[in-house]
Amino acid sequence: MSGATSGESRYLLRGKIPRVLIPQSRINKTVKRLAVRISKDYPGKRPILISILNGAFVFTADLMRQLTIPSECHFIKLSSYGNRTVSSGKVKIVIDLPANIKRSLNGRDVIIVDDIIDTGLTTKYLKARLKRLKPRTVRLCALLDKPSRRKVKVKIDYCGFRIPDKFVVGYGIDYQEDYRYLPYIGYIQS
Protein backbone atom coordinates (compact mmCIF):
# COMPACT_ATOMS: atom_id res chain seq x y z
CA MET A 1 0.00 0.00 0.00
CA SER A 2 1.90 3.00 -1.21
CA GLY A 3 0.84 6.51 -0.27
CA ALA A 4 -0.35 9.04 -2.80
CA THR A 5 2.58 10.40 -4.80
CA SER A 6 3.15 14.05 -5.59
CA GLY A 7 1.60 13.49 -9.02
CA GLU A 8 -1.66 12.87 -7.26
CA SER A 9 -1.68 16.21 -5.48
CA ARG A 10 -4.37 17.32 -7.93
CA TYR A 11 -6.67 15.03 -5.98
CA LEU A 12 -6.14 17.02 -2.82
CA LEU A 13 -9.51 17.74 -1.32
CA ARG A 14 -10.41 19.07 2.09
CA GLY A 15 -6.71 18.92 2.86
CA LYS A 16 -6.51 15.16 2.39
CA ILE A 17 -5.31 13.03 -0.50
CA PRO A 18 -6.79 9.56 -0.34
CA ARG A 19 -3.98 7.02 0.02
CA VAL A 20 -3.76 4.36 -2.65
CA LEU A 21 -5.30 1.03 -1.73
CA ILE A 22 -5.61 -0.34 -5.27
CA PRO A 23 -3.75 1.39 -8.10
CA GLN A 24 -5.30 1.93 -11.51
CA SER A 25 -3.09 -0.72 -13.16
CA ARG A 26 -4.35 -3.43 -10.80
CA ILE A 27 -7.96 -2.35 -11.30
CA ASN A 28 -7.54 -2.61 -15.08
CA LYS A 29 -6.10 -6.13 -14.85
CA THR A 30 -8.84 -7.29 -12.53
CA VAL A 31 -11.64 -5.83 -14.64
CA LYS A 32 -10.17 -7.66 -17.62
CA ARG A 33 -9.99 -10.92 -15.63
CA LEU A 34 -13.64 -10.60 -14.58
CA ALA A 35 -14.68 -9.80 -18.16
CA VAL A 36 -12.88 -12.88 -19.50
CA ARG A 37 -14.67 -15.09 -16.97
CA ILE A 38 -18.08 -13.59 -17.63
CA SER A 39 -17.59 -13.83 -21.41
CA LYS A 40 -16.73 -17.53 -21.04
CA ASP A 41 -19.75 -18.19 -18.82
CA TYR A 42 -22.32 -16.76 -21.26
CA PRO A 43 -21.38 -18.09 -24.69
CA GLY A 44 -23.90 -17.11 -27.33
CA LYS A 45 -25.85 -15.02 -24.79
CA ARG A 46 -26.45 -11.31 -24.30
CA PRO A 47 -26.60 -10.84 -20.53
CA ILE A 48 -28.29 -7.80 -19.02
CA LEU A 49 -26.05 -5.83 -16.69
CA ILE A 50 -27.97 -4.07 -13.94
CA SER A 51 -25.59 -1.43 -12.67
CA ILE A 52 -26.19 0.12 -9.28
CA LEU A 53 -25.91 3.90 -9.36
CA ASN A 54 -23.97 5.89 -8.63
CA GLY A 55 -20.99 3.94 -7.33
CA ALA A 56 -20.84 1.23 -10.01
CA PHE A 57 -21.00 3.43 -13.11
CA VAL A 58 -17.24 3.61 -13.75
CA PHE A 59 -16.72 -0.10 -13.10
CA THR A 60 -19.69 -1.04 -15.29
CA ALA A 61 -18.47 1.09 -18.19
CA ASP A 62 -15.02 -0.52 -18.07
CA LEU A 63 -16.36 -4.04 -17.56
CA MET A 64 -18.86 -3.82 -20.41
CA ARG A 65 -16.17 -2.72 -22.84
CA GLN A 66 -13.91 -5.62 -21.86
CA LEU A 67 -16.59 -8.28 -22.45
CA THR A 68 -16.12 -10.24 -25.66
CA ILE A 69 -19.84 -11.04 -25.80
CA PRO A 70 -22.65 -8.56 -26.40
CA SER A 71 -24.47 -7.22 -23.34
CA GLU A 72 -27.18 -4.77 -22.34
CA CYS A 73 -26.91 -2.29 -19.51
CA HIS A 74 -29.55 -0.67 -17.34
CA PHE A 75 -29.30 1.35 -14.18
CA ILE A 76 -31.03 1.38 -10.84
CA LYS A 77 -30.34 3.74 -7.97
CA LEU A 78 -30.60 2.43 -4.45
CA SER A 79 -29.69 4.04 -1.20
CA SER A 80 -28.92 2.60 2.17
CA TYR A 81 -26.30 5.03 3.33
CA GLY A 82 -27.66 8.57 3.21
CA ASN A 83 -24.69 10.80 3.71
CA ARG A 84 -22.97 8.73 6.32
CA THR A 85 -20.18 6.19 6.22
CA VAL A 86 -22.24 3.50 7.94
CA SER A 87 -25.16 1.74 6.31
CA SER A 88 -28.56 2.64 7.72
CA GLY A 89 -29.69 -0.88 6.85
CA LYS A 90 -32.84 0.35 5.13
CA VAL A 91 -32.71 0.06 1.36
CA LYS A 92 -34.69 2.54 -0.73
CA ILE A 93 -35.20 2.67 -4.49
CA VAL A 94 -34.28 6.15 -5.59
CA ILE A 95 -34.48 5.51 -9.35
CA ASP A 96 -36.19 2.31 -10.48
CA LEU A 97 -35.81 0.42 -13.77
CA PRO A 98 -38.34 1.56 -16.39
CA ALA A 99 -41.42 -0.72 -16.64
CA ASN A 100 -40.53 -1.96 -20.15
CA ILE A 101 -37.05 -2.96 -18.99
CA LYS A 102 -38.52 -4.82 -16.02
CA ARG A 103 -40.76 -6.77 -18.38
CA SER A 104 -37.80 -7.53 -20.66
CA LEU A 105 -35.92 -9.34 -17.86
CA ASN A 106 -38.27 -12.33 -18.12
CA GLY A 107 -36.22 -15.35 -19.24
CA ARG A 108 -32.97 -13.37 -19.56
CA ASP A 109 -29.58 -13.67 -17.87
CA VAL A 110 -29.10 -10.82 -15.42
CA ILE A 111 -25.83 -9.76 -13.85
CA ILE A 112 -26.00 -7.24 -11.01
CA VAL A 113 -22.93 -5.01 -11.15
CA ASP A 114 -22.02 -3.27 -7.91
CA ASP A 115 -19.07 -1.36 -6.55
CA ILE A 116 -18.79 -2.74 -3.00
CA ILE A 117 -20.55 -5.46 -1.07
CA ASP A 118 -20.43 -4.31 2.52
CA THR A 119 -23.25 -5.43 4.83
CA GLY A 120 -24.82 -7.20 1.84
CA LEU A 121 -28.24 -5.71 2.57
CA THR A 122 -28.50 -3.74 -0.68
CA THR A 123 -27.64 -6.75 -2.81
CA LYS A 124 -29.95 -9.08 -0.95
CA TYR A 125 -32.82 -6.67 -1.41
CA LEU A 126 -32.13 -6.12 -5.12
CA LYS A 127 -31.63 -9.79 -5.90
CA ALA A 128 -34.98 -10.72 -4.33
CA ARG A 129 -36.69 -7.92 -6.22
CA LEU A 130 -35.16 -8.87 -9.56
CA LYS A 131 -36.06 -12.54 -9.10
CA ARG A 132 -39.73 -11.58 -9.04
CA LEU A 133 -39.27 -10.48 -12.66
CA LYS A 134 -38.47 -14.10 -13.61
CA PRO A 135 -35.05 -13.80 -15.23
CA ARG A 136 -33.44 -17.10 -16.30
CA THR A 137 -30.43 -16.45 -14.06
CA VAL A 138 -29.29 -13.72 -11.67
CA ARG A 139 -25.63 -13.40 -10.75
CA LEU A 140 -23.64 -10.80 -8.92
CA CYS A 141 -20.43 -9.08 -10.02
CA ALA A 142 -18.78 -6.78 -7.48
CA LEU A 143 -15.52 -4.93 -7.78
CA LEU A 144 -14.90 -4.90 -4.03
CA ASP A 145 -15.86 -7.20 -1.20
CA LYS A 146 -15.64 -5.99 2.41
CA PRO A 147 -16.49 -9.26 4.17
CA SER A 148 -15.74 -8.06 7.70
CA ARG A 149 -18.98 -6.09 7.92
CA ARG A 150 -21.37 -8.59 6.33
CA LYS A 151 -24.80 -8.85 7.95
CA VAL A 152 -26.46 -11.20 5.47
CA LYS A 153 -25.02 -13.98 3.34
CA VAL A 154 -24.36 -12.92 -0.25
CA LYS A 155 -22.88 -15.02 -3.04
CA ILE A 156 -20.53 -12.94 -5.17
CA ASP A 157 -20.19 -14.83 -8.45
CA TYR A 158 -17.56 -12.48 -9.86
CA CYS A 159 -15.46 -10.65 -7.27
CA GLY A 160 -12.65 -8.22 -8.03
CA PHE A 161 -10.86 -7.58 -4.73
CA ARG A 162 -11.41 -8.48 -1.13
CA ILE A 163 -10.57 -5.42 0.97
CA PRO A 164 -10.14 -4.68 4.68
CA ASP A 165 -12.67 -2.70 6.69
CA LYS A 166 -11.69 0.73 5.42
CA PHE A 167 -13.95 3.38 3.94
CA VAL A 168 -12.81 3.56 0.34
CA VAL A 169 -13.31 6.14 -2.40
CA GLY A 170 -12.46 6.59 -6.06
CA TYR A 171 -13.16 4.79 -9.34
CA GLY A 172 -16.81 5.83 -9.07
CA ILE A 173 -17.07 5.42 -5.29
CA ASP A 174 -17.78 8.50 -3.22
CA TYR A 175 -17.65 10.02 0.19
CA GLN A 176 -20.45 12.59 0.35
CA GLU A 177 -20.37 12.84 -3.46
CA ASP A 178 -16.64 13.62 -3.54
CA TYR A 179 -13.75 11.57 -4.93
CA ARG A 180 -15.66 9.58 -7.57
CA TYR A 181 -13.24 10.95 -10.17
CA LEU A 182 -10.12 9.33 -8.70
CA PRO A 183 -8.72 6.78 -11.17
CA TYR A 184 -7.58 4.56 -8.27
CA ILE A 185 -9.23 3.15 -5.15
CA GLY A 186 -8.07 5.02 -2.12
CA TYR A 187 -8.91 5.55 1.51
CA ILE A 188 -8.78 8.48 3.85
CA GLN A 189 -6.54 7.88 6.82
CA SER A 190 -8.32 8.72 10.02
Subset of residues 93 to 132 that bind Mg ion, contact rule: CB under 5 A: 115
153's CB contacts (< 8 A; 6+ apart) are 120
Count residues near ligand IMP (CB under 6 A): 19
Cis peptide, bond prior to residue 83, ω within 30 of zero: no
Choose among ligand IMP, Mg ion, none what residue 58 binds, the Cβ cut-off being 5 to 8 Å by kind. none
Q: Tell me the window of 16-24, 25-33, 63-71, 117-125 that interacts with ligand IMP (CB under 6 A).
A: 117-125
Q: Closest separation between CB of residue 118 and ligand IMP, Å?
A: 3
Q: Which of 166, 173, 172 is nearest to 187 (CA)?
A: 166
152 close to 118: Cβ distance less than 8 angstroms: no
**Half-sphere exposure in the Cβ direction for 170 (13 Å, CA):** 24
| Interface with Mg ion: number of residues (CB under 5 A) | 3
Q: Which residues are catalytic?
A: 118
**Binding to ligand IMP, residues 37-66 (CB under 6 A):** 52, 55
Tell me how far apart the alpha carbons of residues 57 and 75 are, in angstroms, rounded to a whole number: 9
Name which position in 18, 47, 55, 120 contacts Mg ion (CB under 5 A).
55
Site residues for ligand IMP per CB under 6 A: 52, 55, 80-81, 87, 114-123, 146, 167-168, 173
